[in-house]
């Protein structure tokens, strides 16, 4: 077996698994864009907010003597309810007054929501680094030790993230394709006014989609929080999701997953095999955007995005 193959496979698999973690965040963006045509800049802040609510509620419950398992369950219910409440608040205070406004206006509004959630979350839950342990295994596994010297390193937490992302995609695909609400969401995304004219209640739909995106943010926050600890930086993971969206398309759930895999593997391979030997390293951040840009030039709607043709 060639000597380079083991390290190469390790970087490749590590990159693919990192990409799935990006996809978890990208999924939240896709959901809201697909259903409301709004690019939700606040998705990263929602991930942080949900993770902070979860970790702090578990801490408080445990300090009251509640056993760890029950505290985790109640913590999830509390933070899930908080994300639904946030969806109601966003719809009532931001989206409803802006109905039928241009997409760019709604986008600007989500920037405002981002800064509000970032600051408000840290005010009420604190801005320290909190350790989140909900029992997800984090040990390293070494695959194919008999074939490659030292084996191929994989982390259990990354495998859990992959499985979680798979389940989410399956659930969301069923939700969008097989339910009345899912079909209504897609109708609203195509045209607010037309959807309203056939009796689809726009306000309810927006609450539902923001609530679902909030739950996805909670899942992403749980995985990222277990990996890194819950602290402000996980809000910036959203920046990692942007090239994934550009590549996968803003409206495709499978696109978010495939985009994540390509970006994750691409940036890690580029860093190890191009960045460190030729550029003193540190290229993976901009390489991901460059990769996305190249795709954009070839296929502007992304890999799986819908091609929109406007007739004039």
Partner 1 sequence: MSRFNWYVSAAAAAAMLAGTALPAFAQEQFIPVLSYRSGAYAPNGIPFANGFTDYLKLIQERDGGVNGVKLAFEECETGYATDRGVECYERLKAKGATGASAVSPLSTGITFALTEKVPGDKIPLITMGYGRSESSVGSVFTWNFPILGTYWSAADILLQHIAQISGGTAKLKGKKIALVYHDSPYGKEPIPVLEDRAKSWGYKFQAIPVTHPGVEQKSAWLQIRQSRPDFVFLWGWGVMNSTSVKEAAAVNYPRDKMYGVWWSGAEPDVTPAGDGAKGYNALALHPPGSDFVVHREVFKHVYDKGKGSAKKEEVGEVLYNRGLINAMLTVEGIRTAMAKHGNKPMTGEQVRWGLENLDLTPAKIAALGFEGLVPAVKLSCADHEGVARAYIQQWDGKKWVKKSDWIAADQSYLRPMMEAAAKKYGQGKNIQPRDCGKQS
Smallest gap, in angstroms, from Cβ of residue 123 to partner 1? 9
The residues with which 140 forms a beta bridge, in sequence order, are 155
Contact 80, 58 (CB under 8 A): no
Among 92, 101, 105, 127, binds partner 1 (CB under 8 A): 127
Among 229, 299, 301, 303, binds partner 1 (CB under 8 A): 229
| CA–CA dist 58, 80 (Å, integer) | 13
Residues 265-304 that bind partner 1 (CB under 8 A): 267-268, 271-272, 275-276, 280-282, 284-285
The residues with which 142 forms a beta bridge, in sequence order, are 153
| CA–CA dist 3, 6 (Å, integer) | 7
Among 237, 244, 245, 263, binds partner 1 (CB under 8 A): 237
| CA–CA dist 303, 250 (Å, integer) | 10
Length of the chain: 312
Nearer residue to partner 1 within complex by CB, 91 or 271 = 271
Q: Per-residue contact track with partner 1, 19 to 58, x per CB under 8 A? A: ----------------------------------------
Nearer residue to partner 1 within complex by CB, 130 or 206 = 130
Taking residue 136's Cβ as centre, other Cβ atoms within 10 Å add up to 17
Among 66, 153, 290, 303, binds partner 1 (CB under 8 A): 153
SS3 of residue 179 by DSSP? coil
| DSSP secondary structure letter of residue 127 | S
Among 234, 244, 253, 263, binds partner 1 (CB under 8 A): 234
Nearer residue to partner 1 within complex by CB, 88 or 232 = 232
Find, among 100, 86, 308, the residue nearest to 202 by Cα: 100
H or E element at residue 155:
strand 152-155
Query: Does 177 contact partner 1 by CB under 8 A?
Result: no
Smallest gap, in angstroms, from Cβ of residue 233 to partner 1? 4
Among 120, 133, 163, 300, binds partner 1 (CB under 8 A): 133
| CA–CA dist 131, 108 (Å, integer) | 33
Nearer residue to partner 1 within complex by CB, 91 or 158 = 158
Interface with partner 1 by CB under 8 A: which range of 29-37, 132-140, 203-211, 294-302? 132-140
| CA–CA dist 83, 63 (Å, integer) | 23
**Which residues are CB-neighbours of 155 under 8 A, at least 6 positions away?**
17, 138, 139, 140, 141
Give residues in contact with partner 1 (CB under 8 A): 7, 10-11, 14-15, 18, 118-119, 122, 127-131, 133, 138, 140, 150, 153, 155, 227-229, 231-234, 236-237, 240, 267-268, 271-272, 275-276, 280-282, 284-285
């Amino acid at each position: 077996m060639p000597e380079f193959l083991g390290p190469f496979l390790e970087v490749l698999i590590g990159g693919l698994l990192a990409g799935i973690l990006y996809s978890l965040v990208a999924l939240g963006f896709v959901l809201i864009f697909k259903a409301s045509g709004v690019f939700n800049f606040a998705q990263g802040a929602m991930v942080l907010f949900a993770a902070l609510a979860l970790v702090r509620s578990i801490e408080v419950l445990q300090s009251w003597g509640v056993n760890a398992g029950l505290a985790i369950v109640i913590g999830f219910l509390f933070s899930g309810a908080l994300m639904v409440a946030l969806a109601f608040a966003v719809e009532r205070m931001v989206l409803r007054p802006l109905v039928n406004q241009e997409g760019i206006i709604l986008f600007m509004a989500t920037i405002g929501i981002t800064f509000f959630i970032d600051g408000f979350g840290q005010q009420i839950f604190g801005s320290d680094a909190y350790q989140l342990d909900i029992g997800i295994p984090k040990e390293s596994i070494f695959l194919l030790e008999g074939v490659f010297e030292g084996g191929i390193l994989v982390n259990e937490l990354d495998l859990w993230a992959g499985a979680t992302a798979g389940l989410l995609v399956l659930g969301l695909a069923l939700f969008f394709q097989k339910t009345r609400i899912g079909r209504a969401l897609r109708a609203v995304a195509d045209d607010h006014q037309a959807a309203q004219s056939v009796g689809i209640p726009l306000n309810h739909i927006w609450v539902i989609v923001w609530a679902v995106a909030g739950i996805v943010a909670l899942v992403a926050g749980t995985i990222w929080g277990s990996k890194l600890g819950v602290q402000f930086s996980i809000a910036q993971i959203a920046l990692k999701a942007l090239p994934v969206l550009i590549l996968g398309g803003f409206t495709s759930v499978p696109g978010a997953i495939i985009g994540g895999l390509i970006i994750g593997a691409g940036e890690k391979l580029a860093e190890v095999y191009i960045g460190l030997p030729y550029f003193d390293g540190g290229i993976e951040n901009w390489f991901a955007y460059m990769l996305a840009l190249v795709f954009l030039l070839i296929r502007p709607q992304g890999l799986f995005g819908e091609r929109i043709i406007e007739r004039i």
